[in-house]
Each structure stands twice: as C-alpha cells, then as structure tokens.
Amino acid sequence: MSVLYIALPVAILLALAAVIAFVWTVSRGQYDDLETPAYRILEDDQKQKPKEEKR
C-alpha cells in the first residue's frame, strides 16, 4: 500500500476546500468592488471631534 493512496486524496481535498472557500467569498460579493477598499486604508481610525458645530 503506497502512501500515494492517502496523499493524493488529501491533496485533492485541500484543493476542494480552497475552491469552496473561493466560491463562498465570490457569492458573498467580496469581489464586487475591487477599488474602494484599497483607498480605505488611507483613512484615520480615530474620530476627531469638530471644534464647534456649524449648522
């Protein structure tokens, strides 16, 4: 009994897991907007308070 009989199915299963994960991310819409997130890292996290309310 060669180790291949275990290794090959394991490799295929790993690939399958990756494919399933990919399909899930696609259907969740994670690839719908590929532009905006790249710009969000430029924003500050802390919220500054305006000095005074101008309405």
Sites of contact with other proteins (CB under 8 A)? 2, 4-5, 8, 11-12, 15-16, 18-19, 22-23, 26-27, 29, 31-36, 39-40, 42-43, 47-52, 54
In the complex, what is the shortest distance from the CB of residue 10 to other proteins, in angstroms, rounded to a whole number? 12
Distance CA 4, CA 26 (A): 33
In the complex, what is the shortest distance from the CB of residue 43 to other proteins, in angstroms, rounded to a whole number? 6
Contact between 18 and 26 (Cβ < 8 Å): no
In the complex, what is the shortest distance from the CB of residue 2 to other proteins, in angstroms, rounded to a whole number? 7
The burial of 41, by beta-carbon neighbours within 10 Å (0-12 exposed, 13-18 middle, 19 or more buried), is given as exposed
